Structure 1
Amino acid sequence: MKMALWVLIAAVVLLGGYIRFSPSDTARWHVAAQGADKDMRNGVVRVVNTGPNGLAKLDAIATDAPRTRVLAGSVPEGMVTYITRSKVFGFPDYTTVQQDGDELRVYARSRFGRRDFGVNQDRVSGWLALLQP
């Protein structure tokens, strides 16, 4: 019985380490949103009219968000992908933001699991709400 408990604990620790420390492939995650607004099981796409400097404004909001850092890209490049980790387990979510003329294309999705339980939609909605004057 004790051995099974130790095996279970070791499995949980290893899984947690994999989730928190596995590398992020920028070629897979640093991709622009396609299409119009869309709700998915594990993410969301939003297209909003922000004017030509929407990406710079959203970059300031995103980089100030807790547990969020830039994975790839930059404002001068016109596209940035952020990685945001959950507070307890460190699950990574990826949000790619692209300036397309006066439109801002936001594509947020989770890496692990089939559903994100609205986490990405809530984060994107919060960031976009802060863009409003």
Structure 2
Amino acid sequence: MPKRMMMLCLFFVGLLGACGNDKPAPQTNMHNVAHAMASDSKWLHVKHLVKGNDVFIECVAANFPFQKGKNGGHINVYLNGQKINEVYTAAFMLRGVPTGKHAIRLELVYNDGKITGMSHEFTVTIP
């Protein structure tokens, strides 16, 4: 019986120790970060990936309507300072980019010509 009591006491001591209020603080609260980004109506996040001679591009923009039509908007795509395309989707691909180092600039504009002020520029190297 004493052995059983000792085991029971150790169990309760361990249980009480585990119930402390020392909780580690979260390193990043993603909800607050997402909320802060969403509250700013002028942000643009761009990811890109080079695969061979193609460049995959994905854009995330706050409150921007990627669509054709009167109330929509598009991306003006520039390669080395020359406008090469207007894209109406948030994700797209530049195919057949020549070998070498290139500057790509993305500029978001509304279809009525109004400039949003949102743009992003990056360089890619095509092997």
User: What is the TM-score normalised by the length of structure 1?
Assistant: 0.26
Higher helix fraction: Structure 1 or Structure 2?
1
User: What is the TM-score normalised by the length of structure 2?
Assistant: 0.27
User: Which has the higher relative contact order, 1 or 2, with Cα contacts under 8 A spaced 6 or more apart?
Assistant: 1
Higher strand fraction: Structure 1 or Structure 2?
2
